[in-house]
Structure 1
Amino acid sequence: MGTLWRTRLRQHQKQQFKYLQLVFNDHFVLVLVILVGALLYGYSQLVKTLVPAWWLRPLLALILTALLSFGQLATLVAPADGTFLLPQTSAFAKFLFKARRYSLLLPSVVLALGALASVPLLAVLKIDPLSGGLTLAAALIIFKDSDLWVALIRSYQGACPIWLRRVSLLAVAFVSVTGSLYWHPALAMVVALALDLTLRWRIGEHFAPERLDWLTLIANEGKRMDRLYRFYNLFTDVPGLSGGVRRRRWLDGIAKLIRPNHRHTWAYLYWRGFLRQTTYLGLYVRLAIVGAAVLMLLKIWWLAGLVGILFVYLVGFQLLPLAGAYDENVFAQLYPVPATQRPRAFQHLTGVLLGILAVLLAVGPALMGRWLIAGLVLACGAVFAGGFTYWYVPWRLQRH
């Protein structure tokens, strides 16, 4: 099992590095550095205005507890494992233990950074920043270790008692972190350590080989990789990525705005595809909300304009695969419509959606009363949306 794990891990890391090189290119890294710098500057200015109010401790604990949900159990299992590795179910527990340790690496970094970002707030709460930050980071990492143990136990049928659920673990983490902020984060570290040691002490009772749920294990890993690839798909094309179709009756009114006649055949089809396919509408809404929330925090006008352009680009790039979504449909090739109607319909869809997105992004700073920044975001987003729609989209469709 050790050899199998090392082989799987090398293959997985090689594939992830390939996509990460495309995601973190020079332009995106530059924008990311500027954005992080601006957020750190805004955070430093905000900390100077804070006082130890009653809501500060629960809010900080809630944010840190939310960070515990970052990162899932990465088992790296393949669909064929349920058949070919079934005779090795007893030894497969060693594979899963290695996967659990590997799954702890990235969340530990994120949690350590979260604890580091909390150090100025600890000073506001009259807690020693050095010892408080170290013990808080240790507590969060130990809680995450327990969370991964729970995820591993749940891979075995009937092995996880009702009280041992992720929600229960997060509730214990929230209560202990909140209480420790009134005294010292060492209290949360003690609670986390006691919980983790208890799990490790009783862990052997849960891993009966005959209870391993291969189907659930494979399905969970497939969902995890699907979410990861959808993130990569925001920046580059990911082969084989597909989504489901869901009827959304409450959006039928939008589709009815387009007349289902001969002149609007492809426009009607593309709009229906966008509204019903889970791949596109969900990402559009999420990126619009995240973009507006980020722009609410930015006070630097030129940075807000760059961030607005970045989100318009991400959404526009994500919409491009919809242009070829019906290439494999034989009936789409039989439509008696001009060949020029299809690219024009897709351009119209892209232009309208990106224009609406520019308006939604401008709502963020407008809600904070920054009308100049809101107008700049709207102007930059609209101009970039026009260039993307009438220059980049035709060029990509010709290549397609």
Structure 2
Amino acid sequence: MRKLWQTRLRRHQKTQFKYLRLVFNDHFVLVLLILFGALLYAYSQWIKAMIIPAWWLRPALAAVLTVLLGFGSFASLSEPADATFLLPQTTAFAGYLFKARRYSLLLPGVVAVLAAAASVPLLQVWGIDPLTGGLTLAAALLLLKDLDLWLQLIDHYGVPRPAWLARLPLLAAAFAVLLLGLFTHPAFAMVIALALNLGFRWVVLASRFEPATLDWRGLSAAEAKRMDRLYRFYNLFTDVPGLSAGVHRRKWLDPVLPLVRKTTAHTWAYLYLRGFLRQTTYLGLWVRLLVVGAVVLSLISTWWLAALLAALFVYLVGFQLLPLAFAYSEMVMARLYPVPASQQRAAFQHLTGALLVIFAVLLTVGPLLAGHWLIALSAGAAGLILAIAFAGWYLPYRLKKKPLLPA
């Protein structure tokens, strides 16, 4: 089982590194560095301006840390064929799952440590020693996440049940423990988290690991679902083989289609607009980023930071709409259309420009509802400038590198 785990882990990591190099390209890393620096600066200014901490800060921080505990699921790296070929090794397979659980803790553990480090300035404002408070808070988060992964593991033994049903009580307990630690000292949260972790291992694990009760199909289905979520994230930046997007009619969006006339000169414009409205990947991404961006901008009080964030959201939307240009590359009938090839590139460029301009304008709704007129003005101006630059300069540059309809 040890050799099987090492083989699958090396194969898994090789695949992930291949996609991560495409996701975190030079442009995206530069944008993330600028965004990270801007957020750190805004956070430090907010801490310095704080005279008397508000009463709701502790519950809010506990809620944020609890939500972060939900990040990261059990990565078993199992395959559907395991239910057939590894069934006689069910007892020994527990050792494989233990290694998978330890591996699953790596990324959530890093997130927990970073969250604890980000909480240190607030702990200092509340009169808690930053060194001991930060270390014990990080230890409490790691222990609670370790307990969460144990719970996800044993949930594959016995009667299957919804994942949220098993994790909801744990997250509620984690919120109470973290809230207690923030009102007193994070060391108390660490002690309680350690007691819960050890008690869970002593009482529950000894009685749940029955080889005959392992749900092989549920294990492989959960891993397939986890990898599908991961690959759909990668698909926002690059094409992932074998991953197909869902298509829905969405009759309520039909009034949008007459905006493009059904003529020969608008063949590709109509096709691209219909594809954007019907494919769940692009429309869903556009709407989700719009909602998140509007909410984030409504919470910003610095005009230059709002402009930077608005430009970042517009860039992300434009960059992730690029695969739509090649959505019909494999369609045979597209090669028979009696229209020039330049029409296809121009149609996609116009659609992308219109979508980005609308996106930049709607981003200002959040700051306007919050009464931040300067923030809305700076965000809208920055978003519109980047939308025009992206559609007018960057998009033609990208489309020249690869033909939309291969010969």
TM-score by length of 1: 0.88
Q: 1:362 Cα deviation (Å)?
A: 3.7
2:3 corresponds to which letter in structure 1? T
For the residues of structure 2 that align with 1:160 and 1:206, how far apart are their CA atoms?
Answer: 14
For the residues of structure 2 that align with 1:75 and 1:379, how far apart are their CA atoms?
Answer: 47
- Whether the 8 Å contact between 2:35 and 2:308 is mirrored in structure 1 is no
Q: Does residue 1:288 correspond to 2:290, yes or no? A: yes
Structure 1 match to 2:141: 140
- Whether the 8 Å contact between 2:78 and 2:223 is mirrored in structure 1 is yes
* Alpha-carbon spacing, 1:392–1:29, altered in 2? closer, same or farther (3 Å): closer
* Alpha-carbon spacing, 1:83–1:119, altered in 2? closer, same or farther (3 Å): same
- Counterpart pick for 1:231 among 230, 233, 248: 233
Structure 2 match to 1:245: 247
* Alpha-carbon spacing, 1:144–1:271, altered in 2? closer, same or farther (3 Å): same
- Whether the 8 Å contact between 2:158 and 2:208 is mirrored in structure 1 is no
Structure 1 match to 2:387: 385
Structure 2 match to 1:35: 35
* Alpha-carbon spacing, 1:59–1:303, altered in 2? closer, same or farther (3 Å): closer
Q: Which moved more, 1:203-212 or 1:57-66?
A: 203-212
Q: Which moved more, 1:76-85 or 1:95-104?
A: 76-85
* Alpha-carbon spacing, 1:107–1:50, altered in 2? closer, same or farther (3 Å): farther
For the residues of structure 1 that align with 2:15 and 2:163, how far apart are their CA atoms?
Answer: 37
* Alpha-carbon spacing, 1:347–1:370, altered in 2? closer, same or farther (3 Å): same
Structure 1 match to 2:206: 204
- Whether the 8 Å contact between 2:268 and 2:347 is mirrored in structure 1 is yes
For the residues of structure 1 that align with 2:39 and 2:15, how far apart are their CA atoms?
Answer: 31
* Alpha-carbon spacing, 1:31–1:191, altered in 2? closer, same or farther (3 Å): same
1:290 corresponds to which letter in structure 2? V
Provide structure 2 residue ranges, at least 5 long, that are not aligned to the other structure.
none
Structure 2 match to 1:176: 177
For the residues of structure 2 that align with 1:24 and 1:319, how far apart are their CA atoms?
Answer: 17
Q: Which moved more, 1:258-267 or 1:205-214?
A: 258-267
Q: Which moved more, 1:173-182 or 1:343-352?
A: 343-352
TM-score by length of 2: 0.86
Residue aligned with 1:181, SS: helix
Q: Deviations over 1:144-195 (max 9, x none)?
A: 0111011111222417799971011000011121122222222222222222
1:43 corresponds to which letter in structure 2? Y
For the residues of structure 2 that align with 1:333 and 1:211, how far apart are their CA atoms?
Answer: 55
Structure 2 match to 1:156: 157
Structure 1 residue runs of 4 or more that deviate by more than 6 Å after TM superposition: 159-164
Q: 1:138 Cα deviation (Å)?
A: 1.1
- Whether the 8 Å contact between 1:65 and 1:170 is mirrored in structure 2 is yes
2:142 corresponds to which letter in structure 1? I
- Counterpart pick for 2:256 among 234, 249, 254: 254
* Alpha-carbon spacing, 1:261–1:163, altered in 2? closer, same or farther (3 Å): closer
Q: 1:325 Cα deviation (Å)?
A: 2.3
Q: Does residue 1:93 correspond to 2:131, yes or no? A: no
- Whether the 8 Å contact between 1:153 and 1:159 is mirrored in structure 2 is no
Structure 1 match to 2:104: 103
Provide structure 1 residue ranges, at least 5 long, that are not aligned to the other structure.
none
Q: Which moved more, 1:383-392 or 1:175-184?
A: 383-392
For the residues of structure 1 that align with 2:310 and 2:163, how far apart are their CA atoms?
Answer: 45
Structure 2 match to 1:318: 320
- Whether the 8 Å contact between 1:275 and 1:281 is mirrored in structure 2 is yes
* Alpha-carbon spacing, 1:56–1:387, altered in 2? closer, same or farther (3 Å): closer
* Alpha-carbon spacing, 1:309–1:234, altered in 2? closer, same or farther (3 Å): farther
- Whether the 8 Å contact between 1:160 and 1:206 is mirrored in structure 2 is no
Q: Which moved more, 1:18-27 or 1:119-128?
A: 18-27
Q: 1:45 Cα deviation (Å)?
A: 1.9
Q: 1:69 Cα deviation (Å)?
A: 0.9
* Alpha-carbon spacing, 1:172–1:96, altered in 2? closer, same or farther (3 Å): same
For the residues of structure 2 that align with 1:51 and 1:251, how far apart are their CA atoms?
Answer: 49
* Alpha-carbon spacing, 1:346–1:159, altered in 2? closer, same or farther (3 Å): closer
* Alpha-carbon spacing, 1:80–1:348, altered in 2? closer, same or farther (3 Å): farther
> Equivalent pairs: percent with the same residue?
65
For the residues of structure 1 that align with 2:162 and 2:23, how far apart are their CA atoms?
Answer: 41
For the residues of structure 1 that align with 2:96 and 2:386, how far apart are their CA atoms?
Answer: 49
Supply the RMSD in Å over aligned alpha carbons: 2.9
Q: 1:26 Cα deviation (Å)?
A: 3.6
Residue aligned with 2:183, SS: coil
- Whether the 8 Å contact between 2:160 and 2:218 is mirrored in structure 1 is no
For the residues of structure 1 that align with 2:338 and 2:85, how far apart are their CA atoms?
Answer: 50
For the residues of structure 2 that align with 1:88 and 1:334, how far apart are their CA atoms?
Answer: 56
Q: 1:266 Cα deviation (Å)?
A: 3.7
Q: Deviations over 1:234-287 (max 9, x none)?
A: 434433332212343433333354455665444333323222222112211222
1:384 corresponds to which letter in structure 2? L
Q: Deviations over 1:266-318 (max 9, x none)?
A: 43333232222221122112222333344445566555444433322221222
For the residues of structure 2 that align with 1:230 and 1:206, how far apart are their CA atoms?
Answer: 34
